[in-house]
Amino acid sequence: MAWIDWLVLAVTLLSIVAYGIWKSRNTKNLQGYLLADRQLPWYHVGLSVMATQASAITFLSAPGQAYTDGIRFVQFYFGLPLAMIVLCVTFVPMFHRMNVYTAYEYLENRFDVRIRLFTSFLFLVQRGISTGITIYAPSLVLSTILQIPVTITSVMMACLVIVYTVFGGTKAVSFTQLLQMIIIFSGLFLAVGFIITLLPKEVGVIDALRVAGKMGKLQAIDTTFDLSNRYNIWSGIIGGFFLQLSYFGTDQSQVGRYLTGKSIAQSRLGLVMNGLVKIPMQFFILMIGALVFSFYQFHQAPIYFNEVSIAQVEKGTHSKEVENLKQQYKELQAEKQQHILSWLKADKSNNTSFAATELAGFRHKQAEMDTVRGALKALIKQQSTLSESDDGNYIFLYFVMHYLPRGIIGLLIAIIFLAAMGSTASGLNSLASTTMIDFYKRLNPHTSTEKTELAISRWITVGWGLFSMLIAIYSGQMGNLIEAVNILGSLFYGTILGIFLVAFYMKNVKSNAVFGAAIITEGFVILAWHLEWTSFLWLNLIGSLLLMVLAGLLQSFVFKQRTIA
Amino acid sequence: MPDKKTYNDEPSPILSSWCNVYLLVLVTLVVVIGLLYLFTKYFD
């Protein structure tokens, strides 16, 4: 990067961090540190909720996913608005009325301390690992820029986030997230503008999109019902609804966001805002990936976007094979470009038969290019177990680094950092809240002063930060990061949501029945995922429904009988 | 289930009632899915 990029990056990050710490300088107690004194307006709540979900992974992986797999991932969010409505009606008033710090406090009132601790534990496991992955994503950026191992950048990134989160607390997290979202969207609009201006003069935006469409990248909706298909409208609406309901209703990293609202109405409006904006926002981010794909139909695309991995393979015993594959890829791309330009010309002049021939031609060339790329990926995998054989997370970054002007590169890199800081800070903050409130304070109720509690919370945050850092170091082997986070969530969210749904809607079910059902369900969900019985999105639905049914049965036939006996 | 009273103890600052707010979210979802469907068909 040029010095101007480093300057933009440094000024943006330091300003945001300084602003957050300054806004939270009066934090004196646990409520201020963990819940921002419950004083935030709806737009703060809404943007904070969105910034927590939209991590750096969103901005690195989603465009890469659109480039390789198309924009069908947008369907994943179709259940979100429905989940927001259920949350507004049920969860928000319940949590506000009980004046809780964490969602899991409610479970002790409804069942017993065992259920509260079990659910908190499940949350801590999955959120601790997910937060590690959100640290890894921007570390990847630094690794590519500085050409140093991702392990070192993970440690650097984690330390930066730990310092910022420990000093800032929830207030700093929320205030910085407000600015982060503004900067993030300004930067992304700029990036789209640059992609469009970099297209060849004879190719308009619609032409570029039509090329992407013909290559199957713009299939936003898939109406086929198929349980093994990861993204279709049904898995999005039904499976997505349960995943989002679990995430926003029972994951403390989100519950902690809307508990900062100064009233039920403000928290609700924040969630409604999220429900209205999320799908268009995700569509926009995916379209950036589709546009980058279109861009590379008219410019030389690298055979592999992770320059560090390919450089490693080139140094090894397969260097000659890599050189041959690169050459083949380059030649195929040149031939494909000719077909694309001819197809566009023929299509505009209504020369249907010639257009069809050219369309088949460029699709055929693309298939050949995919084969060559696949061969290189196999070589990369073979060369080193540590090298990633999936470059999806590097695609947008590669474009930014090679084609955007100086200064803008720094801003785009800053956006990745800001997104990471927002979601990681929320993650660490929620891990600290749950550990402090549901474990430490619950098991040591008569101990500390406010000052000591604040200090302990900060040390707990440090501990979770270090744990997440260790996870980050091993995240490189997880493939597409955004999917890894969602799969991980799906393994636990179904059970957690099921417990909450039983608590809300099955008043006759007591703690023993729900505890037994939770243990069986969690084992079943992990088995179903391990044996690949269905796409991960359905695990939330299966987990929560199974738990409710089992809890009802256990209460009716096992624990009721014991009570009678 | 939470008390019904709780749902309405804070009136919505917009659109007269919470019911209307939720209806807006539902209608927006349907419109967005419809637009995405047309988008898919157009570029297919």
Least CB–CB distance from A221: residue in B6, B14, B40: B40
Higher pLDDT, A36 or A459: A459
A47 secondary structure, DSSP code: H
CA A180 distance to own-chain centroid:
16
Distance separating alpha carbons of residues A109 and A424, to the nearest angstrom: 30
Q: What are A319's two structure tokens?
A: 């260097």
On the question of pLDDT at A537 being above 50, the answer is: yes
| Dihedral angle of Cα A231, A235, A241, A242, to the nearest 10 degrees | -110
Q: What value does the mean pLDDT take over residues A119-144? A: 83
Give, in degrees to the nearest 5, the angle at Cα A242 between A238 and A246.
165
CB contact under 8 A, B37 and A74: no
CB atoms within 10 A of CB B20: 11
Distance separating alpha carbons of residues A217 and A133, to the nearest angstrom: 27
CB contact under 8 A, B44 and A272: no
Residues of B in contact with A263 (CB under 8 A): 10
pLDDT class for A286, splitting at 50, 70, 90?
very high
Query: What single string gives the DSSP state of each residue in A142-204?
Result: HHHHHTS-HHHHHHHHHHHHHHHHHHHHHHHHHHHHHHHHHHHHHHHHHHHHHHHHTS-TT--
Distance separating alpha carbons of residues A214 and A283, to the nearest angstrom: 18
Average pLDDT across chain B, whole number = 84
What are the residues of chain A with a beta carbon less than 8 Å away from any beta carbon of chain B?
Answer: 74, 78, 81-82, 84-85, 88-90, 93-94, 97, 209-210, 212-214, 218-221, 233, 263-265, 268-269, 272, 275-276, 279-280, 283, 504-505
CB atoms within 10 A of CB A431: 25
Reported pTM: 0.85
Specify which of A45-54, A278-287, A399-408 reaches the highest per-range mean pLDDT. Answer: A278-287
| Dihedral angle of Cα A51, A53, A56, A61, to the nearest 10 degrees | -140
CA closest to B6 among chain A residues: A93
B39/A contact by beta carbon, under 8 A: yes
Residues of B in contact with A84 (CB under 8 A): 25
Calculate how close chain B gets to A220, using CA atoms only, in Å.
6
Q: What value does the mean pLDDT take over residues A382-404? A: 76
Residues 2-21 of B with CB under 8 A from A: 2, 6-7, 9-14, 18, 21
Least CB–CB distance from A264: residue in B10, B25, B33: B10
Residue A79 is predicted with a pLDDT of 94
On the question of pLDDT at A562 being above 60, the answer is: no
Instruction: Answer whether A549's CB lies under 8 Å from A502's CB.
Output: no
**Contacts of residue A46, Cβ cutoff 8 Å, sequence gap at least 6:** A269, A270, A271, A272, A273, A274, A277
On the question of pLDDT at A563 being above 60, the answer is: no
Residue type, A197: T
Identify any residues that bridge with A40 across adjacent strands, giving them in sequence order.
Answer: A261
Least CB–CB distance from A81: residue in B7, B13, B25: B25
Q: Helices marked H in A349-438 — which ranges? A: 352-383, 395-403, 408-434
Q: What value does the mean pLDDT take over residues A9-17? A: 83
CB contact under 8 A, B25 and A272: yes
B27/A contact by beta carbon, under 8 A: no
pLDDT class for A491, splitting at 50, 70, 90?
confident
CB contact under 8 A, B39 and A220: yes
Instruction: Answer whether A291's CB lies under 8 Å from A208's CB.
Output: yes
Which among A317, A308, A329 has a CA at the least distance from the CA of A376? A329
In chain B, count H helices and then E strands: 2, 0
On the question of pLDDT at A512 being above 50, the answer is: yes
Residue A477 is predicted with a pLDDT of 63
Residue A479 is predicted with a pLDDT of 58
pLDDT class for A507, splitting at 50, 70, 90?
confident
Distance separating alpha carbons of residues A48 and A86, to the nearest angstrom: 19
pLDDT class for A476, splitting at 50, 70, 90?
low
B44/A contact by beta carbon, under 8 A: yes
SS3 of chain B: helix, strand, coil, percent, to 5 = 70, 0, 30
Distance separating alpha carbons of residues B21 and A108, to the nearest angstrom: 32
pLDDT class for A417, splitting at 50, 70, 90?
confident
Residue A146 is predicted with a pLDDT of 66
Least CB–CB distance from A504: residue in B1, B36, B44: B1
pLDDT class for A561, splitting at 50, 70, 90?
low
Residues of B in contact with A275 (CB under 8 A): 25, 28-29
The predicted-structure confidence for A322-355, as pLDDT tens digits, reads as follows: 889 999 999 999 999 889 988 888 888 888 888 8
Query: What single string gives the DSSP state of each residue in A82-105?
Result: HHHHHIIIIIHHHHHHHT-SSTTH
The predicted-structure confidence for A140-161, as pLDDT tens digits, reads as follows: 766 776 677 888 878 877 777 7
Chains A, B: CB pairs < 8 Å? 81
Residue A188 is predicted with a pLDDT of 85
Q: What value does the mean pLDDT take over residues A201-228? A: 87
Instruction: Answer whether A248's CB lies under 8 Å from A430's CB.
Output: no
On the question of pLDDT at A410 being above 80, the answer is: yes
On the question of pLDDT at B3 being above 60, the answer is: no
CB atoms within 10 A of CB A377: 18
Distance separating alpha carbons of residues A469 and A315, to the nearest angstrom: 30
Q: What value does the mean pLDDT take over residues A297-310? A: 86
Instruction: Answer whether A322's CB lies under 8 Å from A99's CB.
Output: no
Q: What are A57's two structure tokens?
A: 């992974």
